Amino acid sequence: MTERSEAVEKYIAEQRAIYIPQIEEIKKELKGLKAVLGMGPGYTFEVSRVLNELGIEVVWALAWHYDKKYENGDVPPSMEYLLENGVDFEASVADQQNYEVMNILNQYQPDLYLSRHPGSTVWAIKNGTPAVYVADEYMIFGYKHTLEFAQSVLDSIHNRSFEKNLARRVKLPYTEWWYEQNVDKFLEEGKK
């Protein structure tokens, strides 16, 4: 025990007084937006938690793998938060090929795509979807970083000229015919 609890509590109160009002103001502009995520499970569920707190609905999460419990049997804290707060969204595992991401973006038409890998953000941007590259986990921890993250999301939503210009000039390999295909139908026919 460091016997510094009082100093720590004072610091936390000071930080809350600085950052919470600013976060609350940005939340007013973010409320009701929809997002698709593409990242590992730790990032996916932690970023989903923060987006939920900011008023953004995650409509789909693509993860490379999924561990619903740690080796010691505990549920990851971010997953526990989502379960306890009734945050529910579609999720899929190991479907981060560009064509899979593009199909999901086309289907859900989110306001925002967040990814841990800049290569997949490029495809979203070519599609005209604003994208945020979530470089590291520290960009969402603490009041200051949560505010900076919210500001990045807000900047991506407000400044759409790059995505709009690029989407107008880039011819994607995915046509309407491609997007109209029913993958589930092909899977079921293959089982017969």
Q: Answer yes or no: is 116 within a domain.
A: yes
> Per-residue pLDDT tens for 110-166?
999 999 888 888 889 998 999 999 987 788 889 999 999 999 999 999 988 888 888
Q: Answer yes or no: is 36 within a domain.
A: yes
Q: What is the pTM of this model?
A: 0.82
Q: Answer yes or no: is 144 within a domain.
A: yes
User: Residue 149 maps to which CATH number?
Assistant: 3.40.50.12380
If we measure between CA atoms, which residue out of 48, 68, 43, 51 comes closest to residue 138?
43
Q: Is the pLDDT of residue 38 over 70?
A: yes
Q: Answer yes or no: is 66 within a domain.
A: yes
Q: Is the pLDDT of residue 19 over 90?
A: yes
Section 46-69 average pLDDT: 85
5 secondary structure, DSSP code: H
- Tally the domains of the chain: 1
Q: Answer yes or no: is 39 within a domain.
A: yes
Averaged confidence pLDDT in the chain: 85
How many CB atoms neighbour CB 174 within 10 A? Answer: 16
Instruction: Sort 44 into a burial class: Cβ within 10 Å, 0-12 / 13-18 / 19+.
Output: buried
Q: Where is pLDDT greater, at 101 or 13? A: 13
The residue range of the domain holding 58 is: 7-191
> Per-residue pLDDT tens for 49-58?
899 999 999 9
Q: Answer yes or no: is 128 within a domain.
A: yes
128 secondary structure, DSSP code: T
Relative to beta strand 57-63, strand 34-38 is parallel
**Residue 78's pLDDT band (boundaries 50, 70, 90)?**
confident
- The pLDDT, as a whole number, for residue 185 is 64
Q: How far apart are CA 45 and CA 117, in angstroms?
A: 16
Q: Answer yes or no: is 1 within a domain.
A: no
> Per-residue pLDDT tens for 126-138?
989 999 999 877 8
